[in-house]
Structure 1
Amino acid sequence: MNNQSLAQRLKYHRKSKGFSQEELSLKTNVTVRTIQRIEKAEVNPHLNTIKLLAVALDIEVNELIPLNNPKEETIKKKWLLLLHATPLLGIFIPLCNVLLPLFIWIHKREDNPIYDKHGIKVINFQITALILATISFVGLLTIEKWGFILFIATVPICVAIVIFNIIYVLKKEKCYYPLSIPFLRFKPKGSIKIIAFLIGILALTNCTTKTHIEIERIDGSTVFIDSITQKINQLAKDAHVEGLMVAIFDNKQVEHQHIVGYKDFSKKLVLTDSTNIYGASLSKAVFSVIVMKLVEDDVIDLDTPLESYLPKKIYEYKPLKRWHDDYSDLKTDSLYHKITARMCLNHTTGFQNWRSKDNKLHVHSIPGEKYDYSGEGFVYLQVVLEKITGKGLEQLAQETIFNPLDMKSSAYEWKPRFERDFANSYAENGGVYNKDKDNEPRAGSTLETTFGDYIAFLTAVLNKKIISAKSYEEIFSPQFKILPLSQLVENVPAIEYKNVKLSYGLGWGYLETPYGNGFFKEGRGSGFHHYSIIFPEAGKGVLVMSNSENTGLIFKDLLQYTIANKNMPWEWFKEIPYK
């Protein structure tokens, strides 16, 4: 298949119909990401995908892709043979004389007009034969002699006609079915009523559709995909969540993903997997992989004090950014010089989460001795790395993560191209936050991404890409036990979950469950609310991304229903079910 030709044809027909990529996605259930990649000639799509696009655009398949297979004639005869010969199985299996050719016709009718014409004739004849067989059976019971003759003659005559047409189609690609009632009629563009009828028949005959696929959860129990979809929709509605995206991983790949709601609630603009989303603290999970890549490249060591890499004191450098690389407050600090990369990633630097005018940057406890969640620790490590490598965070991220994983819609800073498709964010009362578009790149907080891109990142992590398995073992090993279990939110101590051995790894939280170790990362800020947890040994995980503060109220129910994870210390996160 010529990808470039398909890309140009799809773009031409989509624009001629006045559809945006998002609108075409909604009409086809083909993701926006896939449509974008087809139009860029980056993928060789499955024929079924092309069929869906053609139906939505109201064109023939061959208007998107010309049939240029050198073995086309042979392939065509094989499909025609199947159309005309499969009804013979109806002698042994009731209704197969209609259902089998009907199924083939549904799937092949748009590939070539000859399949459509022959399929209609076969189906019309077989439905007629089925009616005739029913009448002859009634005649057998009610009409003496002639009823018997009609009954025993019906099947042989129908079989003879089928065999005649098998030979006829192989020789001349033509067919002739006498006395057929025209239930279906050939129309080049098809008929909406016929398609609806066929979809109904297919739904009855195909009992293994995707919505009835079961997903195995972490505890070995299973749940149907359609049940998960209904649960997500119901939770989002009950908790007044404006936009919600959920991906479920199994076998180290995405098994199911579902998106509900809007990127702009007032305008009813639909949220998609390519809509820009502020990642908040999901930034830290990505940064931890960047750091470990630099460790592998011997740029830095996890346990060497960061200040020792610099030719002068960190507070002696002139700030180049608005505020985050200004370390003048540390001039009188006697502890910061002990801080290592490991301490930055496992939140034991002693720094507060974020500095402010009233809360100057300061090391509040001996580095390495106390867990205290800190975005400032990540930024300190970032600034040192930028000075060592001569590269900014954005360049390091693009080179290490985003480009290799084809995360083309991700960055640690706002890009003008994000303007055309970004999500608003909403407070608990439904109020809209102003979108922050002037953040400078910061390792702990400024990730701009999409649902599709972050899925790609988690998939890479589950499959141990970008960095070595040994480096992932370092990230996912318990670096510092969290005791007591409290982030001191509003100074309310949380319940201590001794059984999960809650700890922090490098950029990720750590907990133990009866089904394996889990590694989580949450993100929250300016109305955006995200949560992810993966179980690398089992190859399972869940990603939740949202543009509503209310999402925290349904995290517990979402996790327990989708993956059966009942070991998360929700009191520690201060997340409780909605009322």
Structure 2
Amino acid sequence: MNNSSIGERLKYQRKIKGYSQEELADRTNVTVRTIQRIEKEEVSPHLNTIKLLAIALDIEVDELVALDDPKEETVKKKWLLLMHATPLAGLILPLLNVLIPLFLWIHKREDNPVYNEHGIKVINFQITVLILAILSFISLLTIEKWGFFIFIFISVVPICIGIMLFNIVYVVQKNKCYYPFSIPFIRLKKSRTFVLMALMGMALMGSCTAQKLETIERLDSSVITKDSVTAKIHQLMEDANIYGTAISVFNDNQPVYKEVFGYKDYPNRIPFTDSTNIYGASFSKAVFGVLVMKLVEQGVIDLDTPLESYLPQKIYEYEPQTSWHDDFSSLKEDSLYTKITARMCLTHTTGFKNYRWFEEDYKLRTHWEPGTKFGYSGEGFIYLQVVLEKLTGKGLEQLAQEYIFEPLDMKNSAYEWKTRFDKDFALGHDEDAKALKKDKDNEPRGGGTLETTAKDYTKFLTAVLNQELISKESYEEIFAPHIRIKTEKQFYEGEGKITDKYDDINFGYGLGWGYFETPYGKAVFKEGHGSGFVHHSVLFPETGKGIMIMTNFENGNSIFKELLEVILMDTYTPWEWENYIPYDKK
């Protein structure tokens, strides 16, 4: 009890009634000496004494002494410590830095004004911090990229943690707190409506961020949820009898969806993972195109000088060092190959067939004037590779590791089989889901021996979208239509038929990558097919969007058309030219 207030109030009430100390003593059993000592604040009277004095003065007890509010408990440091310390849980789970002190404040604010004051200050500070964190994350996913994100997590977060630790100590020592930079979302005198509005606004911001994280933006700016994408992939795989697939989707130049489905070995039901080795087939050519441009930047070679002129002797005069691919002895009788340049090799205009075994006599030769028309050819890539190896004194595998795989931390990628791949590799499967024997004897070839993983090749495509490894000018050279494609199909009976059906997309080929145009800018693609593996990737550099599909089933391409349309709204890819006939149309 407050002794001074009791003494002053007793004196005040006695004089109002006109009693002397002696007269008041006569009306009670309280002695004059006790009344004197109470008024001089020398004693703290018992409650019974106060009641007797109140009856004599004809007043209520609380007019002499302020009784404690039964709802207002004595301040307990444990509640203040909980309010100030529990927001640190937000470092583990977002939103807990606000939700826990909010719960404590709602529970304790009416028990004591101190709880109410401290709770409001903590909540205002934590909401401010949360908004900064949300804004930084949104900026990372959209416009501001890493700058604001790094500012928040390197500068603001340590400061905020320091402020919280300071207040934990301050409240223990002084029962006080201090939170600078707080936005006053909740004020001591504000209505509950304002509080609810602030909390609803915070929840809305959180839900918008969550929606951004759980959706994929398509070419036309519409969105599809990741759950819907996953469900569609499962449905298509089941309907088409495809039991192994890896898919990555890109927004804003970054992978926003990376999933693997099914089995690397279907007969034995061994699951796929994103680190499972996958035969990359002609994905090799996309990587090789970037590698060649790296060497062009270094002055090792240029795109338009005939390759023959770089060598001190004729290509057919060199003793073969491999089982077959560097044997060019048949070109001794060829009069056109000397005109072939690096650009012609990368744009499939050398005049070579895809591979020499498509020739009746298995001998490599040119079939038309190099550079004049498109004809898909892995042999052109081999020719360029062999020349580069002779110029640099390094093998393809060494060059690729040095300039592509090691800089991108693609630890499970190579142009040749590595013994470390034995522990986790996928088998190709035919259309009847029968596993095919894995070919581990490949010698490095830039057109088709890439071994990689879904994780690694996603890293490569991310680097391409962000124009890493080589200059912007080099990417512009790669992603330009160097030759128009006029054939109905890439292979088979349609490869010799001329058509104008793809003129509206300016269909052509760049340096190691296919090319077409859309209302959303250029598109560049690369596919791969061999040994029971079928893959497709397409990037839209001007939008930052793209997709990678890898399958280990011969019929995998029967779901590509629908996947492109559903996931990205890509209705522009020339799927008939690629022979991506849907499974339900065969």
Bin of the TM-score, shorter chain as denominator length: 0.5 to 0.7
What letter is aligned with 1:348? T
2:398 corresponds to: 395
1:42 corresponds to: none
- State yes or no: 1:467 paired with 2:453: no
Superposed, 1:43-442 pairs within 5 Å as 80-81=82-83, 107=93, 156-157=110-111, 207=207, 209=210, 213-356=214-357, 358-442=361-445
C-alpha distance in 2 between matches for 1:79 and 1:380: 73
Evaluate the alpha carbon distance shift between residue 77 and residue 232 of structure 1 in structure 2; reply closer, same or farther with a 3 A threshold. farther
SS at match of 1:107: coil
Alpha-carbon offset, residue 553 of structure 1: 0.5
What letter is aligned with 2:408? L
**Corresponding residue to 1:500 among 502, 505, 518:** 505
2:543 corresponds to: 538
1:509 corresponds to: 514
Alpha-carbon offset, residue 242 of structure 1: 1.5
1:444 corresponds to: 447
C-alpha distance in 1 between matches for 2:379 and 2:81: 65
Evaluate the alpha carbon distance shift between residue 333 and residue 252 of structure 1 in structure 2; reply closer, same or farther with a 3 A threshold. same
Identity %: 53
C-alpha distance in 1 between matches for 2:502 and 2:212: 36
C-alpha distance in 2 between matches for 1:164 and 1:392: 69
- State yes or no: 1:550 paired with 2:552: no
**Corresponding residue to 1:563 among 555, 568, 574:** 568
C-alpha distance in 2 between matches for 1:552 and 1:223: 22
Moved more, 162-171 or 329-338: 162-171
What letter is aligned with 2:536? Y
8 Å contact from structure 2 (residues 81, 172) kept in 1: no
What letter is aligned with 1:298? G
SS at match of 2:440: coil
8 Å contact from structure 2 (residues 105, 116) kept in 1: no
Alpha-carbon offset, residue 329 of structure 1: 1.0
Evaluate the alpha carbon distance shift between residue 126 and residue 471 of structure 1 in structure 2; reply closer, same or farther with a 3 A threshold. closer
What letter is aligned with 2:526? K
C-alpha distance in 1 between matches for 2:80 and 2:257: 35
Alpha-carbon offset, residue 219 of structure 1: 1.7
What letter is aligned with 1:324? H
- Normalization by structure 1: what TM-score? 0.67
Alpha-carbon offset, residue 238 of structure 1: 1.5
Query: Residues 251-294 of structure 1, C-alpha deviation per residue, up to 9 Å, x if partnerless?
Result: 11112222211112233322111111110000000001111111
Moved more, 163-172 or 229-238: 163-172
Evaluate the alpha carbon distance shift between residue 78 and residue 331 of structure 1 in structure 2; reply closer, same or farther with a 3 A threshold. farther
C-alpha distance in 2 between matches for 1:284 and 1:220: 31
Superposed, 1:12-31 pairs within 5 Å as none
Alpha-carbon offset, residue 488 of structure 1: 4.0
C-alpha distance in 2 between matches for 1:338 and 1:216: 46
C-alpha distance in 2 between matches for 1:562 and 1:341: 35
C-alpha distance in 2 between matches for 1:159 and 1:347: 80
Evaluate the alpha carbon distance shift between residue 313 and residue 429 of structure 1 in structure 2; reply closer, same or farther with a 3 A threshold. same
8 Å contact from structure 1 (residues 410, 448) kept in 2: yes
SS at match of 2:577: helix
C-alpha distance in 1 between matches for 2:305 and 2:421: 38
C-alpha distance in 2 between matches for 1:417 and 1:301: 36
Query: Residues 523-543 of structure 1, C-alpha deviation per residue, up to 9 Å, x if partnerless?
Result: 011111110011111111111
Q: Structure 2 regions of 5+ residues with no counterpart? A: 1-77, 123-166, 174-202
What is the count of residue pairs matched by the alignment?
Answer: 427
What letter is aligned with 1:483? K
Evaluate the alpha carbon distance shift between residue 464 and residue 164 of structure 1 in structure 2; reply closer, same or farther with a 3 A threshold. closer
C-alpha distance in 1 between matches for 2:264 and 2:378: 27
- State yes or no: 1:480 paired with 2:489: no
C-alpha distance in 2 between matches for 1:494 and 1:561: 30
1:525 corresponds to: 530
Alpha-carbon offset, residue 336 of structure 1: 0.9
8 Å contact from structure 2 (residues 520, 542) kept in 1: no
What letter is aligned with 1:532? S
C-alpha distance in 2 between matches for 1:78 and 1:469: 57
Evaluate the alpha carbon distance shift between residue 109 and residue 368 of structure 1 in structure 2; reply closer, same or farther with a 3 A threshold. closer
8 Å contact from structure 2 (residues 352, 366) kept in 1: yes
1:192 corresponds to: none
1:574 corresponds to: 579
- Normalization by structure 2: what TM-score? 0.67
What letter is aligned with 1:520? F
Evaluate the alpha carbon distance shift between residue 311 and residue 563 of structure 1 in structure 2; reply closer, same or farther with a 3 A threshold. same
2:178 corresponds to: none
8 Å contact from structure 1 (residues 80, 169) kept in 2: no
Query: Residues 134-191 of structure 1, C-alpha deviation per residue, up to 9 Å, x if partnerless?
Result: xxxxxxxxxxxxxxxxxxxx98459888889999997569xxxxxxxxxxxxxxxxxx
| Higher Rg of the two aligned structures | 2
What letter is aligned with 2:82? L
Query: Residues 374-397 of structure 1, C-alpha deviation per residue, up to 9 Å, x if partnerless?
Result: 000000000011111111000110
Moved more, 351-360 or 464-473: 351-360
Q: Structure 1 regions of 5+ residues with no counterpart? A: 1-75, 87-100, 130-153, 174-202
Q: Kindly report the root-mean-square deviation, in angstroms, between the aligned alpha carbons of the 2 structures.
A: 3.4
C-alpha distance in 2 between matches for 1:273 and 1:435: 19
What letter is aligned with 2:384? L
8 Å contact from structure 2 (residues 489, 579) kept in 1: no
Alpha-carbon offset, residue 213 of structure 1: 2.7
Query: Residues 193-235 of structure 1, C-alpha deviation per residue, up to 9 Å, x if partnerless?
Result: xxxxxxxxxx9x9856469733221122221222112112211
C-alpha distance in 1 between matches for 2:562 and 2:112: 58
2:48 corresponds to: none
C-alpha distance in 2 between matches for 1:383 and 1:459: 28
C-alpha distance in 2 between matches for 1:528 and 1:164: 63
Query: Residues 78-101 of structure 1, C-alpha deviation per residue, up to 9 Å, x if partnerless?
Result: 9832577x9xxxxxxxxxxxxxx9
Alpha-carbon offset, residue 240 of structure 1: 1.5
Alpha-carbon offset, residue 577 of structure 1: 1.3
What letter is aligned with 1:347? H
C-alpha distance in 1 between matches for 2:402 and 2:170: 57
C-alpha distance in 2 between matches for 1:159 and 1:426: 72
What letter is aligned with 1:80? L
8 Å contact from structure 1 (residues 486, 494) kept in 2: no
